[in-house]
Chains A and B, each alone.
Chain A
Amino acid sequence: MAALDLTVVGAYLLGTLLLGLYLTRRVRSGADFFVAGRRLPFWAVGMSIVVSDIGALEMVGGTAAAYRYGVAQANYEWVGCIPAMVVGGLLFVPLYWRAGVFSVPEYLGRRYGAAVQAIQAAVWFCFLAAALGVFFQASAEMMVGVLGWPRWLSVGLTAAIVAVYTTGGGLEAVVLTDVIQCVILFAGGLALAGSGLARVGGVGGLRAALARRGTRHHLELLMPVGLRGADGAPTGYPWPGILLGLGLVLSPAYWIGNQAIVQRTLGSRDEWSARSAMIFGGMLKTLVPAAFVLPGLLGLALLGERDPNGVYAELIGALLPAGLRGVLYAAFLAALMSSVDSYTNSAATIFTRDIYGRFLAREREDLHYLRVGRLTSLVVIGLGVASVPLVARYHTIYDAFQSFLSLFQGPTLALLLCGLLWRRATTAGGLAGLLGGLGAALLLQVSGLHYLYIAWWSFLFSLAALVLISLVTPPTPAERLEGLVREVER
């Protein structure tokens, strides 16, 4: 790494650490730690929810997928985000905000009872904690190749810095450091895409180069059903799956039901800011493919046949001068840190509020929960680092966790939609919808169905079970629904 690149990376790490340390002084209560004292501006929350969604894995993996299949990879940022963000921002976020909850399981617990809260909290906590080890391990592998750093230097340095500002400054530190990370990520990604476009001769040159490579579908967002790649494997972008599974189920479940996303909006300074953060985030999402999908197309045009996973690193070396390369290296670290800090803070919130505070130690003083939240953050990061060797040997552990979580997406969306919009949904109906939808998802997964279709069918099954059981059980008393269900709009 050139001295100039090292200076850029060092300045980024030092700046992040100093900002995090400064914000530590502002945390005096549980609300400060878990929801930033509800004082965050909309633009910071919007940038944070976008950057938390982009990890180092997505930078390399997204580029590799675009190299293999083309612009269809952008579906995960466009139809897989924007409609859900608009509806989430204008309809669902205000409902969470008015309910005054700290987490999604807390909302579901108040709406459907302790059993649903316990199941949701346990699943989310296990997934968030397990994901940290994978983030560290996978990112370290890439950093060995891209930065040339030893694995333990990458893991140790990022874990130490994230631990300092996450355990000290809570959500406010997470969100405001995410703002820096968002700027660096976009600056790095767009610099790479801009340099590549200039090299290939602009958009016209790119189109011509792709045509010369004999690609048929690289500039099509939606792909036919049954299309397979050069290796014979399905592309992963069949249009009914993209529209029904991704656009109508997985995306709303993520943007309405993901703790890491919802928690940020709950930290906004007022209800309007919570709402506008999602719309602003949607605007940023529109730009993401320019930074992380376009380089994949440029890689195919400029480099030709390659290992797709090596395209991003090769483009950095081929296109960027010293200094700008440093920005990209900092972007790698920023992508890792923004994901780790989000998952750490969310895992700590869920454990403290939905497991410890709900079932193990109720009615303690606020500072007690603040201490538990900080300690949990530290433990979760420690577990993430400690599990790196384990994850390196057993990739299937994370795969199993991810598959397990994906089974919950359809049922969770059904519970949230009915819980927020339908007063007749009952406690028994909620539990039946969750367990019934989960059972259906498990059966469909065993059958080998594509995960986009599993999401769609498990959502429908869960919805049917919830509605059916709710209609045959006594309605929930109106006073218990106060502030939890949308009132009729006039």
Chain B
Amino acid sequence: MSFDWLAGVPLAWGVGLTVALYLTVLVWAVTRPRRLIYSGAPDGARWRDLRLWVVPLVLTQIVLYLVFR
């Protein structure tokens, strides 16, 4: 249960799975329907599209995990 059996697995797998987690979140977020993204918003201004906020946020994280490895 301690995952010690993964000691022989290359660390690159850990980096790859972490990046995969971020990519999954990114794809899920950008495919949210527009109706849900703007739900409750006072107007339909472009800057309120939270999918546009998530893209740089998650891409920055992916770059950080690829740089510090």
Contacts and interface: CB of A to CB of B under 8 A. Distances in A.
Nearest to B53: A279
B39 A279 contact: no
Given A283-B57, A489-B33, A79 B3 contact: no
Interface in B9-68: 9, 11, 14-15, 17-18, 21-22, 25, 28-29, 32-33, 36-42, 48, 50, 53-54, 57-58, 60-61, 64-65, 68
Contacts, number: 123
A354 interface: no
B68 A221 contact: yes
A83 B22 contact: yes
B54 to A, nearest CB: 6
A490 interface: yes
A457 interface: yes
Interface residues of B, number: 38
B57 A279 contact: yes
A279 B29 CA distance: 11
Given A83-B21, A243-B18, A272 B3 contact: no
B8 to A, nearest CB: 9
A318 interface: no
Given A87-B25, A226-B7, A272-B40, 16 more contacts: A71-B68, A78-B65, A82-B22, A82-B57, A82-B61, A90-B29, A222-B18, A224-B11, A239-B14, A241-B3, A272-B38, A272-B39, A272-B42, A274-B40, A279-B50, A449-B2
Interface of A: 71, 74, 78-79, 82-83, 86-87, 89-90, 94, 97, 219-226, 238-244, 247-248, 270-276, 279-280, 282-283, 286, 444, 449-450, 453, 457, 489-490
26 contacts: A74-B68, A78-B61, A82-B57, A86-B25, A86-B54, A87-B28, A90-B50, A221-B68, A224-B11, A225-B3, A239-B18, A240-B6, A243-B21, A247-B21, A271-B41, A272-B39, A273-B40, A279-B50, A279-B53, A279-B54, A282-B57, A283-B57, A286-B57, A286-B61, A450-B2, A453-B2
